[in-house]
Amino acid sequence: MTDRYAVFGNPVAHSKSPQIHALFAQQTGQDIQYDALLAPLDGFERSVHEFMAAGGRGANVTVPFKEQAFRVATQLTARARAAGAVNTLMFADDAIVGDNTDGTGLVADIQSNLGVWIAGTRVLLLGAGGAARGVILPLLEEAPSSLVIANRTADKARQLVDHFSDEAAGVMTSVTFEQLANHAFDLVINATSAGLDDAGMPLPDSIFAPGCLAYEMLYGRETPFLRQARRANARVADGLGMLVEQAAEAFFVWRGVHPDTAAVLATMRSK
């Protein structure tokens, strides 16, 4: 019998996950069906339980349900706990396991696809919301020499640093946007949602060290962050690779098989 998976979101019709997982399934010969399911804003938990009762084996979770999925899970992986959010659910007989593959996906894209090794580098993470928190533990695990968090609301950046003080062992600090004038980085990751409104941020060009990779976690749009980074001669990347890699990690969690992401990323880029 074909195993069923789905992505839950609201809205969800735009999701690329069904296409990506169909390509993974085709490539690896796994017999799965993967659908996009719209959960009502006040009915996420009910939708998940209905899907389980109908034989669903696992699910991805996207905006705005990642924090609710964290609460629906009866067991959490360490990376989900650190993220405070769940993007991957696995249904077992007596448990709903909550995982988070976003940060692992980001790191895989930066290192494997873009060829930038994080160990020993100076990393700047812009933003202190859910998207930023979701990637901190996997970034720290790659042992950057520093991980600096900058956020428009400086207090939230300070709180994030405090939250990770056990894992970060002095590597993580927070700065205000104004203080960035005194710093340069090898990797700058934009985890803010500013680009969704086409909003720029008051960032000095000097944050982009020579050879810097500027990574925009959004995809499919030329954001002010990407425009500025390009003007400042940084190498740029958008978040499509992260999207494919987080999906591949979820596929691996469910199926125990890791797809060849380069081929799928090339297909998605050409669409």
Residues that bind ligand ATR (CB under 6 A): 127-132, 151-153, 156, 192-194, 199, 201
Cα separation, 35 vs 82, whole angstroms: 28
DSSP 183-194: --EEEEEE-SSG
The three-point CA angle 213-132-190 to 5° equals 35
Closest residue to ligand ATR: CB criterion? 129
Looking at the Cβ atoms of 62 and 261, the one nearer to ligand ATR is 62
CB of 201 to ligand ATR, least distance (A): 5
CB of 131 to ligand ATR, least distance (A): 3
Strand, coil or helix: 169:
coil
**Phi/psi of residue 58, nearest 5 degrees:** -175, 170
Question: 11: which DSSP letter?
Answer: S
CB of 262 to ligand ATR, least distance (A): 27
Cα separation, 189 vs 238, whole angstroms: 10
CB of 134 to ligand ATR, least distance (A): 8
């659910």: which residue's tokens? 89
Cα separation, 264 vs 271, whole angstroms: 11
CB of 257 to ligand ATR, least distance (A): 30
Q: Which helix (DSSP H) or strand (DSSP E) does residue 261 occupy?
A: helix 261-269
Looking at the Cβ atoms of 199 and 266, the one nearer to ligand ATR is 199
Cβ contacts of 88 within 8 Å, gap of 6 or more: 58, 59, 60, 61, 98, 99, 100, 101, 249, 250, 253, 254
Looking at the Cβ atoms of 192 and 261, the one nearer to ligand ATR is 192
66 is catalytic: yes
Looking at the Cβ atoms of 222 and 260, the one nearer to ligand ATR is 222
Looking at the Cβ atoms of 121 and 151, the one nearer to ligand ATR is 151
Looking at the Cβ atoms of 45 and 67, the one nearer to ligand ATR is 67
Cα separation, 5 vs 254, whole angstroms: 9
Cα separations in angstroms, 140 against 70, 84, 86: 21, 16, 19
CB of 132 to ligand ATR, least distance (A): 6
Beta strands in 118-207 (DSSP E): 122-126, 146-150, 172-175, 185-190
Q: Indicate which residues carry an active-site annotation.
A: 66
